[in-house]
Amino acid sequence: MLAVVVFALPAASRADVYVLIEADGTTRFSSQPDEPRYRLFLKEPTEYRLKTMGELASLRNPGDYRLRAPAARRPDVHDNPLLEGKPFNAQVSKAARTHEVDPALVHAVIAAESNYNAKVVSHKGAIGLMQVMPDTGRRYGVKEKDLYAPAKNIATGVRYLAELIAMFEGDLELALAGYNAGENTVLRFGRKVPPYPETRAYVPRVLRYYDALRAGNG
C-alpha cells in the first residue's frame, strides 16, 4: 500500500517543516508538530512563503511516472528487464520497494551521481553510490562510516529521494534539484530549479537516464 503523505502547513506563514514517519510507513509533514515524534525536516527560508494547498496542487507534474503509475499498482516497475544485471540491483530493488520509488529512477540517480563507484567521495564530502552527505545520513540516524556500505548508502539515498518527491508533490525536476542542491535551495528560489550550472545539468541528465531505463521502454 502506498504511504499517505499529509501536509499540515499554514497557507500564509513562514515556518520550519517537520516530518513524522508512522510505523506503517505513512509520512506526514507539518509546520505545527502536535506531538513529540515529529522531527525537524528543514528550516524554512525566511524569504519564502509556504504555498497554499491549491498552489501545491498546481505543481503536480502529470508526466511524473511515479504519480501516473505508483509502484504498488504497477508490478512491472519492479519486474523491469532493463535493470537486470545492473550493479547493486538487489539493494536498489529492496530500498525502492520500501520507499515506493521506481527502481529505474534510483539507478538513474546512481549513474549520474557516482557511475556505480561505491567508494567515491566528492570534494564536498558526499559519499558513495548515491553521494549521500553525512548530514543527510545523520538526519536518518545513519553514521558517516556506514554510508560507505552500498546497502546502507542506497537505503539512505532512496529514503531521502522519496521524501523529496513527497515534499515537492511528485515533481521530479524539483525533487532531483533538491537532491543535488538541497531542498532549502529549491525553496529559496521559489520552488524552481535553482540557476546553478551543476544543478541545471544534473536534473536533465538524471531524467534522460531514467527515461532510458523505465519499465516499458525495452
DSSP 29-85: EESS--STT-EEEEPPPTT-PPPPHHHHHTT--TT-HHHHS-GGG-GGGGS-GGGTT
Please give the pLDDT value at position 111.
96
Give the per-residue pLDDT at 35. Answer: 74
For the chain, which residues score pLDDT lower than 70?
A: 1-32, 38, 40-76, 216-218
Q: Vertex 202, ends 197 and 208: CA angle to 5°?
A: 135
Q: Tell me whether residue 113 is one of the annotated catalytic residues.
A: yes
Residue 36 is predicted with a pLDDT of: 73
pLDDT of residue 77: 81
Please report the pLDDT score of residue 59 as a whole number: 36
Sorted by sequence, the CB contacts under 8 Å of residue 17 that are 6+ apart come out as 9, 29, 30, 31, 40, 41, 42, 44, 167
- Which domains can be identified in the chain, with CATH numbers? 1-58 (no CATH), 63-213 (1.10.530.10)
Q: Widest CA span of the chain, in angstroms? A: 49
pTM of the model: 0.69
The whole-number pLDDT of residue 151 equals 98
pLDDT given for residue 41 in this prediction = 60
* Nearest-angstrom CA–CA distance, 210 and 194: 21
Active-site residue, selected from the candidate residues 113, 163, 169, 183: 113
